[in-house]
Amino acid sequence: MISLADLSDQATRSRLIAAVAERVIAHTDELTALDSAIGDGDHGHNMKRGFDAVLASLDSLSEMAPAELLKSLGMKLVSTVGGASGPLYGTLFMALGKAWPQNLAQASLAAAFEQAIAAVKARGKSEIGQKTLLDVLAPTLKAFQEGADAEGIAETARSAAEATAPLRATRGRASFLGERSIGHVDPGARSAALIITALCEEGSRN
């Protein structure tokens, strides 16, 4: 089980980044299939390209302290993902790095997550309920704030992604489909859930 204090350890940071990257890459086809239904079908491939680049820089990234690491990881995604998700995930990680607390604790970390989510909202000019990754990030933060354990947080993220299926998209490429976007899980919500569950599961392992 990884604690917040363990983030000062390079090997721990490396494990967490690798777990996230490998999870996203392993789901390339699933994300592409979801995006083909309601978007332009490039989400899986774009995310894979981004996280392949992250894995290629795993050693130099994990050497960095968390704040710097998150900013660099975000910039890496912005530079490599190429789709609309690049700036959104890039903003998420860069803003989280910028807001990363000096005194790492549950409450200060929750505040940093809140700022990072606000930055994603501003970047996407989007609100909760529009069938985007925000519909996973916001309930996950709420679970974290309410003191859920890693398993509870992962479950929240997973079910929040599923819960985007009945929503009608009003932001992003899927919004072009209007009513036809209903009935499909949002690919961005799904990739956000993959990232969060990978972090929670790796964090729970010994």
Partner 1 sequence: MSNVGIVIVSHSHKVAEGAADMVRQMVGEEVPLAWTGGNSEGGLGTDFAAIGEAINRAWSEAGVAILVDLGGAETNSEMAVEALPDSRRGRVVICNAPIVEGAVVAATEAAGGAPLNVVRRTAEELSP
Residues that bind partner 1 (CB under 8 A): 40, 42, 46, 49, 78-80, 82-88, 90-91, 123-124, 172-173
Q: What amino acid occupies position 53?
A: A
Distance of CA 203 to the CA centre of its chain: 15
Instruction: Compute the least distance from the CB of residue 113 to partner 1, in Å.
Output: 20
Residue 7 is encoded by which pair of tokens?
Answer: 């983030």
Instruction: Compute the least distance from the CB of residue 38 to partner 1, in Å.
Output: 14
Residue 10: count of CB within 10 angstroms of its CB: 15
State which residue, 46 or 140, has the beta carbon closest to partner 1. Answer: 46
State which residue, 86 or 203, has the beta carbon closest to partner 1. Answer: 86
Instruction: Compute the least distance from the CB of residue 132 to partner 1, in Å.
Output: 11
State which residue, 88 or 143, has the beta carbon closest to partner 1. Answer: 88
Which residues fall within 8 angstroms of residue 62, CB to CB, at 6 or more apart? 10, 11, 13, 14, 17, 69
DSSP 3-state of 50: helix
State which residue, 85 or 156, has the beta carbon closest to partner 1. Answer: 85
Confirm if 84 and 172 have CB atoms less than 8 A apart.
Answer: yes
Q: At what angle do helices 43-56 and 187-204 cross, to 10 degrees?
A: 40
Instruction: Compute the least distance from the CB of residue 29 to partner 1, in Å.
Output: 17
Between the two ends of the chain, the Cα-to-Cα distance in Å is 5
State which residue, 42 or 186, has the beta carbon closest to partner 1. Answer: 42
Instruction: Compute the least distance from the CB of residue 171 to partner 1, in Å.
Output: 8
Instruction: Compute the least distance from the CB of residue 84 to partner 1, in Å.
Output: 3
Confirm if 46 and 15 have CB atoms less than 8 A apart.
Answer: no
Which residues fall within 8 angstroms of residue 117, CB to CB, at 6 or more apart? 92, 134, 137, 138, 141
State which residue, 172 or 203, has the beta carbon closest to partner 1. Answer: 172
